[in-house]
Amino acid sequence: MGNLIRRFMSIEVLINGTGQTQIPDQTQLRGCFIDSVVVLPALVSSVSAVTSKTNVATNADLAGMTLSLVRASDNVIQNVPLLALNPFNSYESTLASTMLRELFLPQYIDWNQSSIYAGVTLSAASVVVSLGVYYYDPNKKIVTG
């Protein structure tokens, strides 16, 4: 993979209630090697970066949610608690922090087969789960003279 730039993208998944929610296809990440995924809790931003209207899932919401990532019908990550992917530390000590993000060998993820499971009643009728994705795009390389 030499000469690739490590990139970051925030994606959002709208959760409308308990149960499983499929993650929408992330066309901008197709063909990219996913290096790691973090959750971006309300501590980072309390409203959606995309719509500025939908509330970001609260800590209590996130505490009852898990993430499953799929590659070619194989569960690469299955039911990891979302707060286990939190790299942020709250000054009020109200949010646990792993200080490490979920790392795995760079691989493709089939986002439209991946999902978030909400096992708790949400704090609002719908909330947004924000995920931060670190990735490499093999089609965009550093150009050196």
Residues 7, 13, 14: CA angle, nearest 5 degrees: 155
Q: Domains of the chain, with CATH numbers?
A: 4-136 (2.60.120)
> What confidence score (pLDDT) does residue 47 get?
73
Pair 73, 125: CB distance under 8 Å: no
Pair 139, 33: CB distance under 8 Å: no
58-72 pLDDT per residue, tens: 889 999 999 999 998
Nearest of 121, 90, 134 to residue 18 by alpha carbon: 121
Query: How far is C-alpha 13 from the chain's CA centre?
Result: 8
21-50 pLDDT per residue, tens: 999 999 999 889 998 898 888 877 777 777
